[in-house]
Structure 1
Amino acid sequence: MYTRVVRLDSAQDVSRAVAERLLSRMIELQRTQDMVHICLTGGSTANDMYERLADLAEGSELDASRLQLWWGDELFLPATDPERNSQQAISRLARTVSIKSADTHMMAAKDGRKDSQESAADYEAELGETSFDITLLGIGEYGHVAAIFPDHPSFEPTSRAVIGVEDSPKPPSERISLTIPTLNRGDETWLIATGAGKADAVRRALAGDESIPAALVRGRNASYWFLDEAAASGLPAQHTCTF
């Protein structure tokens, strides 16, 4: 397993680079396997990337019928709430990428469920032993990934693959999240961070500070960190590479 840091000028450059790389990698994987499993993330940079990916996918070799989409975390909100990570991603991708609903594995919404724990149990059953070809993750200013926060019950060891998160440090207070061992079932993990507010978390994670969740997520084969200059500002100059 190796780690590479990709340092780019701006958040827009990060979105562009991840979109281009993701499309290329999915097409490459489809040449050697029947189905490609991608674990998606939320956030403004990710949403910009999904917009760009939709543009790039149109007319490309990508076979949407051979994609399985999953999510690393979700807000425990009604199914039609536009703030849900899955709603934001699919509304952008669906412009050009026609993925069947059965292949779009959204986390169970708040509708008809008593709490986030019930939603987490439903998703754990659906996920089973699935592993991901690529896991996309944003890095939060607290050093959190998905809905796993430092100094919080979500970061405590558990045998569960998916957990309900209550009293989240970021609103809304209820969320659903894959646990770190589940996130680490991916062959490749792509971590995305933009903005100066993420610089300290990025520095600590890459230095191996295990008090923050971002330091503990890694791909089985490779981990890539896509950073803009602001998010990478706490790193030494040698922490950089290009594809």
Structure 2
Amino acid sequence: MVTLRRPDTLSTLLDQAATSLIDVVAALQTTGGGVHADGVARLVLTGGGAGIGLLERVRELEDADSRIDWSRVHVFFGDERNVPVSHEDSNEGQARTALLSHVDIPEANIHGYGADGGDMEDKARDYERTIAEVAPEGFDIHLLGMGHEGHINSLFPHTDAVREAERLVIAVTDSPKPPAERLTLTLPAVRRAEQVWLLVSGGNKAEAAAQIIARANPEDWPAAGAAGTEDTILYLTDDAATAL
């Protein structure tokens, strides 16, 4: 079951999702809730235009009226290119610029992959261990952008990565979208989140968005395999909803 939210434009999408994200995190901190019942939010961030735009909007709202205790937030990343954080293509680097460097989140609560352009298998295993230590019960919210062909994180159609059924983190060496080398959370990892939010905007994504709602085969449309244990929310702008 997918909960559909229909902002008209990308700007409205970012406003709605940023406000909801702050509401959810602040509420679970106030009540001592969350998937670990400890009042600590465990979030998975995403890159791309919508993902980074959302972080920028959260920063604006928090600057105006901070409601989140950032010392009780742990952040993870859905995927990462095999580049250092200082590289312009780094999802973690972009997230730091957009939000994380501007709030009082402890450095120890930012869980990057440690990619450096070298061998990735050890990095993937290390990240699995970090998840097991910090988020053993899963994530509170996993944010996801989506490509026109339905890819999420670095899980592309008809690849071994999207077919992975056991591991939570894997190295990808043959991404069809450059750069080829990436580290990514898998569908089993995505499905450990209580809530999965897909942020989808753009007319070229209309067919893939319809496949999410239809719950198509994830091997063909990876985003269709993204599901939260409690809720799966699709933020879908008007231009991306023409195939519904």
Cα distance in structure 1, aligned partners of 2:106 and 2:158:
39
Please tell me whether the aligned partners of residues 2 and 213 of structure 2 are also in contact (alpha carbons under 8 angstroms).
no
Question: Does 1:92 find its partner at 2:98?
Answer: yes
Cα distance in structure 2, aligned partners of 1:82 and 1:98:
23
Post-superposition offset of 1:126: 1.1
Q: Please list the CA deviations of residues 187-207 of structure 1 after superposition, one character each: whole Å capped at 9, or x if unmatched.
A: 111011110111111111211
Return the TM-score normalized by structure 2.
0.91
Give the equivalent residue in structure 1 for 2:176: 169
Question: Does 1:45 find its partner at 2:50?
Answer: yes
Percent of aligned pairs sharing the same letter: 33
What aligned pairs does 1:6-21 form with structure 2 within 5 A after superposition? 6-21=5-20
Please tell me whether the aligned partners of residues 41 and 137 of structure 1 are also in contact (alpha carbons under 8 angstroms).
yes
Query: Which of 112, 118, 126 matches 1:122?
Result: 126
Cα distance in structure 2, aligned partners of 1:13 and 1:95:
25
Query: Which of 139, 150, 153 matches 2:160?
Result: 153
Please tell me whether the aligned partners of residues 167 and 188 of structure 2 are also in contact (alpha carbons under 8 angstroms).
no
Cα distance in structure 1, aligned partners of 2:167 and 2:3:
29
What aligned pairs does 1:67-216 form with structure 2 within 5 A after superposition? 67-94=73-100, 96-110=102-116, 113-114=118-119, 116-128=120-132, 129-210=136-217, 211-216=220-225
SS at match of 1:37: strand
SS at match of 1:133: strand
Unaligned runs of 5+ in 2: 33-38
What aligned pairs does 1:224-243 form with structure 2 within 5 A after superposition? 224-235=233-244
Give the equivalent residue in structure 1 for 2:62: 57
Please tell me whether the aligned partners of residues 184 and 217 of structure 1 are also in contact (alpha carbons under 8 angstroms).
yes
Q: Which has the higher contact order (CA 8 A, sep 6+)?
A: 1
SS at match of 2:2: strand
Post-superposition offset of 1:156: 2.0
Please tell me whether the aligned partners of residues 109 and 119 of structure 1 are also in contact (alpha carbons under 8 angstroms).
yes
Return the TM-score normalized by structure 1.
0.91
Please tell me whether the aligned partners of residues 141 and 193 of structure 2 are also in contact (alpha carbons under 8 angstroms).
yes
Letter in 2 for 1:232: A
Post-superposition offset of 1:96: 3.8
Which deviates the most, 86-95 or 226-235? 86-95
Question: Does 1:22 find its partner at 2:21?
Answer: yes
C-alpha root-mean-square deviation of aligned residues, in Å? 1.4
SS at match of 2:161: helix
Cα distance in structure 1, aligned partners of 2:207 and 2:164:
24
SS at match of 1:98: coil
Give the equivalent residue in structure 1 for 2:227: 218
Query: Which of 32, 37, 41 matches 1:36?
Result: 41
Cα distance in structure 1, aligned partners of 2:84 and 2:56:
23
Which of the two has greater helix per residue? 2
Please tell me whether the aligned partners of residues 117 and 165 of structure 1 are also in contact (alpha carbons under 8 angstroms).
no
Letter in 2 for 1:215: A
Q: Please list the CA deviations of residues 57-107 of structure 1 after superposition, one character each: whole Å capped at 9, or x if unmatched.
A: 123221111000011111111231121111111211135421111000011
CA gap of 1:84–1:102, structure 2 versus 1, over 3 A, is same
Post-superposition offset of 1:123: 0.8
Q: Please list the CA deviations of residues 115-150 of structure 1 after superposition, one character each: whole Å capped at 9, or x if unmatched.
A: x22221121111113511111011111111111111
Give the equivalent residue in structure 2 for 1:3: 2
